């Protein structure tokens, strides 16, 4: 992918509060990957935020002294045309929709979460058609571009792109890079000497080995020796006997499956107090945009890190660099299954260690798949593939099947009730379901 001119990057959803992270990453990575054009595109409703964050981006670049042109646009096709990379960080229906995704399931006694459970399903239903519209533009205007999906539910979105477009694409989550950083810090070694192995799919992920300086540290992590006091300790909160007999460290989102009752209580309590995550994020974003609007600000503000999604930008820039330079290094990415899991369809998206070549990621088969998790993995992937199809076809029966077969939905009758209420609540963003 070496090229004469500099690199063009299009950010769909450029008005997101995350953008300053990405801009910082591109500036720091300029030496290896000289970006010449950065296009921030957003929709009309996001125009104000795009203006604010875009101007901060311009000030950041200006301070860096680098020859990067920052463009703001409401016409995503202009941003995409001839791009080398297209990243997506969109939220269809904005935080108002997220609030519904979190609140409605809760009112039926079901986990209310943005990427997991009925909430995640409706986020997928709203998002996938919009993402596929972006794909149509990429196919036409930048057929060689790599699409990097940050948009949640990232695994399902990536699978939809693989199934329904010809766009070269990769899905990205920050969870794996956080694990890597935790290990490097805990064992006081550079990240390059750390290689955790993951099994599963996006947000349903187990760490099954943790090579640090060539030694697998998983056994001591499973024992939870308590020597790591940091807030990031991934084994915290898990039943010790469960952990040791599982033989793997479940990542955060598995609490929704393994500690369903506790998470439900937590969510209900939060709702009773100040609201679910949607409300929290709403407040954080408001504060962030107040900061961004400060015309003296020329760098990413510290407070952004509390927004969640730490190291997203680092993950993204790492990936772009490896694709651009053909680094052949190992990153954990969302890619098609191929033959990795023989019990999942070949075109299912999985989250897995990959060698990132100039032609794209090549997945590394995990050495070990705990047999305990195969069933759950298959059950969630079954739901995901049904939901993806429902998103594209707008078929209510398929949506019902997806909902019923989600492991967190207790029965057909609850699934029907949720489906009715959520289809109605989100109807403005579900044109496929109107016909």
Active site residues: 253
In the complex with its own copies, the residue whose CB is nearer, 64 or 357, is 357
CA dist 405 → 105, 176, 378, 414, 422 (Å): 15, 27, 11, 12, 17
424 binds its own copies (CB under 8 A): no
Query: CB of 428: closest distance to its own copies in angstroms?
Result: 24
- β-bridge partners, 2: none
Residues of span 36-55 touching its own copies by CB under 8 A: none
Burial class (CB in 10 A: 0-12, 13-18, 19+), 367: exposed
Query: Closest Cα to residue 83, out of 324, 261, 249?
Result: 324
Residues of span 334-363 touching its own copies by CB under 8 A: 338-340, 342-344, 355, 357-359, 362-363
424 φ, ψ to 5°?
A: -65, -45
394 binds its own copies (CB under 8 A): no
In the complex with its own copies, the residue whose CB is nearer, 6 or 301, is 6
Query: CB of 84: closest distance to its own copies in angstroms?
Result: 12
Residues of span 88-117 touching its own copies by CB under 8 A: none
190 binds its own copies (CB under 8 A): no
Contact pick of 51, 139, 185, 216 for its own copies (by CB under 8 A): 216
411 binds its own copies (CB under 8 A): yes
> Quick one: which segment of 5-13, 37-45, 65-73, 377-385 binds its own copies (CB under 8 A)?
377-385
Contact pick of 214, 231, 273, 295 for its own copies (by CB under 8 A): 214
Residues of span 278-317 touching its own copies by CB under 8 A: none
In the complex with its own copies, the residue whose CB is nearer, 48 or 245, is 245
Contacts of 58 (CB under 8 A, 6+ apart): 70
423 binds its own copies (CB under 8 A): no
> Quick one: which segment of 141-149, 167-175, 212-220, 302-310 binds its own copies (CB under 8 A)?
212-220
Contacts 24+ apart (CB under 8 A), 321-326: 321/29, 321/32, 321/33, 322/356, 323/1, 323/85, 323/146, 323/356, 323/358, 323/360, 324/1, 324/7, 324/32, 324/33, 324/84, 324/358, 325/1, 325/32, 325/33, 325/358, 326/1, 326/357, 326/358, 326/359
Contact pick of 6, 224, 275, 326 for its own copies (by CB under 8 A): 326
Contact pick of 44, 188, 227, 261 for its own copies (by CB under 8 A): 261
Query: CB of 35: closest distance to its own copies in angstroms?
Result: 17
For its own copies, how many residues bind (rule: CB under 8 A)?
A: 71
239 binds its own copies (CB under 8 A): yes
> Quick one: which segment of 78-86, 134-142, 149-157, 414-422 binds its own copies (CB under 8 A)?
414-422
334 φ, ψ to 5°?
A: -95, 115
In the complex with its own copies, the residue whose CB is nearer, 111 or 157, is 111
Query: Closest Cα to residue 150, out of 180, 171, 129?
Result: 171
Asked if residues 306 and 18 have their Cβ atoms less than 8 Å apart, the reply is: no
217 binds its own copies (CB under 8 A): no
Both tokens assigned to 197: 């192995």
């Amino acid at each position: 992918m070496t090229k004469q001119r500099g690199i063009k990057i299009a950010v769909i959803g450029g008005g997101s509060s995350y953008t300053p992270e990405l801009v910082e990453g591109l500036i720091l990575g300029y030496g290896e990957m000289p970006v010449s054009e950065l296009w921030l595109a957003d929709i009309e409703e996001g125009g104000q935020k795009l203006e604010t964050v875009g101007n901060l981006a311009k000030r950041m670049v200006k301070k860096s002294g680098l020859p990067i042109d920052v463009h703001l646009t409401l016409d995503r096709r202009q941003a995409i045309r001839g791009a080398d990379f297209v990243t997506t960080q969109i939220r269809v229906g904005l935080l108002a929709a997220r609030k519904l995704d979190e609140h409605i399931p809760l009112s039926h006694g079901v986990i209310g979460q943005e990427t997991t459970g009925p909430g995640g399903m409706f986020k997928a239903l709203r998002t996938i058609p919009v993402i596929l519209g972006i794909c149509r533009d990429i196919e036409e205007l930048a057929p060689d571009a790599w699409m990097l999906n940050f948009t949640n539910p990232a695994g399902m979105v990536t699978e939809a792109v693989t199934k329904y477009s010809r766009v070269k694409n990769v899905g990205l989550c920050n969870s794996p890079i956080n694990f890597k950083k935790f290990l490097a810090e805990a064992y006081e070694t550079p990240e390059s000497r750390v290689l955790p192995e993951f099994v599963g799919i996006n947000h349903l992920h187990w760490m099954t080995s943790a090579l640090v300086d060539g030694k697998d540290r998983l056994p001591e992590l499973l024992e939870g020796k308590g020597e790591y006091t940091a807030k990031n300790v991934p084994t915290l909160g898990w039943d010790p006997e469960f952990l040791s007999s599982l033989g793997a460290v479940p990542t955060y989102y598995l609490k929704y499956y393994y500690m369903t009752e506790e998470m439900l209580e937590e969510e209900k309590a939060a709702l009773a107090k100040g609201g679910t995550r949607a409300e929290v994020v709403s407040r954080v974003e408001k504060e962030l945009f107040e900061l961004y609007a400060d015309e003296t600000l020329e760098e990413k503000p510290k407070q952004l890190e509390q927004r969640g999604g730490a190291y997203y930008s680092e993950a993204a820039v790492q990936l772009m660099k490896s694709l651009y330079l053909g680094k052949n290094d190992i990153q954990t990415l969302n890619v098609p299954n191929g033959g990795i899991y023989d019990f999942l369809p070949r075109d299912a998206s999985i989250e897995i260690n990959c060698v990132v070549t100039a032609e794209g990621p090549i997945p590394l088969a995990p050495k070990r798949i705990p047999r305990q998790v195969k069933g759950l993995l298959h059950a969630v992937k079954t739901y995901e593939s049904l939901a993806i199809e429902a998103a594209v076809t707008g078929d209510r029966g398929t949506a019902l099947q997806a909902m019923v077969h989600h492991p967190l939905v207790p029965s057909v009758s609850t699934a029907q009730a949720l489906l009715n209420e959520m289809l109605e609540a989100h109807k403005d963003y579900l044109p496929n379901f109107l016909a």
